[in-house]
Amino acid sequence: MDIPTYDDMLAAHERIKPHIRHTPVRTSDYLNDLTGAELFFKCENFQEPGAFKVRGATNAVFGLDDAQARNGVATHSSGNHASCLSYAAMLRGIPCNVVMPRTAPQAKKDTVRRYGGTITECEPSTTSREETFAQVQAETGGNFVHPYNDPRVIAGQGTCAKELMEQADGLDYVIAPIGGGGMISGTCLTLSHAAPETKIIAAEPEQADDAYRSFRAGHIIADDAPKTIADGLLVPLKDLTWHFVSRHVHDILTASDPEIIAAMKLTWKHLRVVMEPSSAVPLATILKNKGMFAGKRVGVVITGGNVDLDRLPWMNS
Q: Answer yes or no: are the C-beta atoms of 237 and 180 closer than 8 Å.
A: yes
Closest contact distance (angstroms) between CB of 266 and a second copy is: 10
Residue 217 or 315 having the CB closest to a second copy? 315
Map the footprint of a second copy across residues 39-58, applying CB under 8 A.
Answer: 45-46, 48, 50
| Pick from 201, 193, 313: nearest CA to 265 | 313
Does residue number 277 form part of the binding site for a second copy (CB under 8 A)?
Answer: no
Candidates 275, 280, 281, 301: give the one binding a second copy (CB under 8 A): 275
Residue 91 or 154 having the CB closest to a second copy? 91
Map the footprint of a second copy across residues 81-120, applying CB under 8 A.
Answer: 107, 114
Q: Which stretch binds a second copy (CB under 8 A): 167-175, 197-205, 241-249, 305-313?
A: 305-313
Does residue number 30 form part of the binding site for a second copy (CB under 8 A)?
Answer: yes
DSSP string computed for 167-218: HS-S-SEEEEE-SSSHHHHHHHHHHHHH-TTSEEEEEEEGGG-HHHHHHHHT
Q: Answer yes or no: are the C-beta atoms of 234 and 80 closer than 8 Å.
A: no
The count of chain residues that interact with a second copy, using the rule CB under 8 A, is 25
Candidates 167, 268, 292, 296: give the one binding a second copy (CB under 8 A): 268
Centre a 10 Å sphere on the Cβ of residue 272 and count the other Cβ atoms it contains: 9
Does residue number 29 form part of the binding site for a second copy (CB under 8 A)?
Answer: yes
Centre a 10 Å sphere on the Cβ of residue 263 and count the other Cβ atoms it contains: 25
User: CA dist 150 to 45, 95, 118, Å?
Assistant: 22, 19, 21
For β-strands 38-43 and 25-26, DSSP reports them as antiparallel
Measure the CA–CA gap between 174 and 299, rounded to whole angstroms: 4
Does residue number 143 form part of the binding site for a second copy (CB under 8 A)?
Answer: no
| Pick from 36, 29, 32: nearest CA to 290 | 36
Q: Which stretch binds a second copy (CB under 8 A): 195-203, 220-228, 271-279, 291-299?
A: 271-279
Q: Which stretch binds a second copy (CB under 8 A): 62-70, 160-168, 182-190, 304-312?
A: 304-312
Does residue number 232 form part of the binding site for a second copy (CB under 8 A)?
Answer: no
Centre a 10 Å sphere on the Cβ of residue 21 and count the other Cβ atoms it contains: 12
Residue 29 or 65 having the CB closest to a second copy? 29
Residues that bind a second copy (CB under 8 A): 24, 26, 28-30, 45-46, 48, 50, 107, 114, 265, 268-269, 271-275, 305, 309-310, 312, 314-315
